[in-house]
Copies of this chain bind each other. A is one copy, B any other.
C-alpha cells in the first residue's frame, strides 16, 4: 500500500477531535458510530500505529495520533485550497499571474493597478518579475510571464504573441542638480542608468493582499511611501527615477530637478504590453483591458 493515509480518514480524525467523541463525530459526518470505529481501526491497521487509547469510556489520542491530527489538518486545508484553485483555473481565472516588467520602467505605475485588482479578486496570486533588456520578450515565450510590459518601440513581430501600445501619462527621467549623471554623455544609456539606485514608491497593494504578491527586483532600490516622498528623495540626490510630468513641471522650471533624455527616447507613453494569443485567461483579459484605458493611472 503506497498511501496508507486517506483524506477521508483525516477528516474523521479531525471531526473526532473537534467534537470530542466518536459518537459526536459520527453525528457530524452523517454516519453511524460503528462506521467511525471502522474507519479509525482501518487507519490504525494500514498505518500500523495506535492512534487512540481508551481512557474511561472516552478515547483519547496517543502522541502519534496528535501528530497525525495536526499535520493532517494542514493537508486537508491544502487539499481544499487545491480544489478551489483547480476550479478557478477551469473557470478561466488563473490561480497565479506573472507580470514581467522591463527593468527600465518603474514599478510605481503598476501598483495602483494591482491594488485595484485585489479589490475585485483578492485570492489570486500576482507576481511581478523584473526583466532586463530583451529578457521581457523571452519571459513570454518561455512561459515565465503571462503578461510583459516593455519599453521602447514594438519589437519584431512574433508568431503567437500579440503586442499593444500603452498610452499613459508622461513620465520624465529625473535626477537632482549636481548628480553624477548630469556629467554623462546624453542621451543616457540604459546600462548606465541601471547602475544607479532607483527610487520607487513602495508597493501599496502589498498589505492589502491576502497572499501578498512578490516583487523580484534585480537593482538596488530605495522604497518610499508616496510619490511626494519620491520627489523629495530625488531632489536630495538619494537616487534616480521617473516622475509624472505634471507633478514636477514647476520644479524643473526652477531648476530644482533636472530632466535627462534617456537612450532610445522612451517617453513612457510609447511602452507596450505583450501576451500569448493562446492565453485566454480572465486575469490577463482584466489587465489588458485596464492597461488599454487612457486614464488608468
Contacts and interface: CB of A to CB of B under 8 A. Distances in A.
A48 B11 contact: no
Interface string A86-126: 11011000110000000000000000000000000000000
For this complex, into which size category does the number of interface residues on chain A fall?
35 or more
This chain: copies in complex:
2
B49 A90 contact: yes
A95 B66 CA distance: 11
Contacts of A68: 82, 86
Contact of A49 (B48, B71, B87): B87
Given A4-B83, A83-B5, A78 B74 contact: yes
Interface in A68-85: 68, 71-72, 74-76, 78-83, 85
A78 to B, nearest CB: 5
A290 to B, nearest CB: 22
A67 to B, nearest CB: 5
A50 B87 CA distance: 9
A2 B11 CA distance: 9
Interface string A29-52: 000000000000000000111100
A19 to B, nearest CB: 15
Contacts of A83: 3-5, 47
Given A62-B90, A64-B90, A95-B67, A3 B80 contact: yes
28 contacts: A2-B11, A3-B76, A3-B80, A3-B83, A5-B82, A5-B83, A6-B6, A6-B7, A48-B87, A49-B86, A49-B87, A49-B90, A50-B90, A64-B86, A64-B87, A64-B89, A64-B90, A67-B85, A67-B89, A67-B95, A68-B82, A68-B86, A71-B78, A71-B81, A71-B82, A72-B82, A75-B75, A75-B78
